[in-house]
Amino acid sequence: MNEPHDSTEFDIDEGFGARLTIDLQALVDNWRKMRALSSPARCAAVIKADGYGLGAEPVATSLYGAGCRDFFVATAREGAFVRQHAPDARIYVMNCILPGIEETCRVAELVPVLASMEHVALWTQACIANGEHPCALQVDTGMNRLGLSTGEAMALADDVTRPQGFSPVLIMSHLACADEPEHPLNGQQLEAFQNVVAAFDGIEASLCNSAGVMLGGDYLFDLARPGIALFGGAVGDHVRPVTQPVVTAEARIITVREAKHGETVSYGGTMTLRRDSRIAVCSIGYADGYMRSLSGTGVTLRGHHPEGGHGFAHGQKLPILGRVTMDMTAFDITDLADGSLKSGDFIELFGPNVALDDVAATAGTIGYELLTLLGRRYRRHYLPARTDG
């Protein structure tokens, strides 16, 4: 897991070529915003994949301090780590691949999400052997990824011989197309889930992810579980105004060089300069999660962004020149005043001036992937959340 740095200053002697500024107050504010939108349901926080790449410890600690008491993670190992920072929260493990993690779930007081009849049988046997322990039951309502079929779930609900050791505290499903509000599958999944929830009378239910919260109304049930929206990412155009950026990524300039009209830049010579240029070569590349598909040229599968990505400094966009490489990326700073950027200065990759999801779209992906690809070579600086609520 990534650990926060105690220093409030950036130390240029530490050898980091790039830095992340992570605003934990913005994270908390985003959760509170989603909590308000989820009302009257409670609002959980999905913090899998090391807190979406930002560090599970500071993320969990900040959200727990703000009042969040329901967390979702992917693996039991993630859950056991989060438990250290959320002592009395309910922590659900969504990728509960049994057998093998029963003891971890018991020791760390995690709630496994059972996603097949095999899981149900294994967990029931574990409860018979070791005593009751809460679980959640996932039902597939149309995504065909994890979950009992609706028929299996209904049969289980009606099974009078169901062992006493099987005592789910949550029935959940997952929306496949919530980021497309008009998609007919949303309504189909809602209807199927409502039927299952009615069969498990008295047990809490959860259907909404970040985009599902925006559908509102009948989709909310008892517990919403936003993820990407907490971290400032969009899950569709209708969500963009809701949450604020949490992370700013910046790359340090290694050197500023001059190149002549007609010369080429980076591998393959795919970028030919159309003017005399000044180039800032930065310590950032695809080894840091700054994807090769952001390259200014030389990428055949780009989609709708043939011009490639850009950075930002001194109020201007700075186009990427040529291909992004493993450790270095070149930015065009010709239009900035001479001397405005020099070796050791930083260029913003995404943050308040370059939207995370715009960078993702240029790279042909989504904000989730950019965040979770953030590597170990960033100097991480955490702006603390307020303790006054």
**Catalytic residue annotation:** 48, 267
Q: How far apart are CA 331 and CA 313, in angstroms?
A: 11
Half-sphere exposure of 380 (CA within 13 A, CB side): 24
Q: How far apart are CA 364 and CA 302, in angstroms?
A: 6
* Interstrand relation of 329-332 and 45-46 (parallel, antiparallel or unpaired): unpaired
- Cα distances (Å, whole numbers) of residue 285 to 10, 123, 302, 346: 21, 44, 18, 14
Q: How far apart are CA 171 and CA 298, in angstroms?
A: 48
Q: Do 221 and 206 contact (CB within 8 A), yes or no?
A: yes
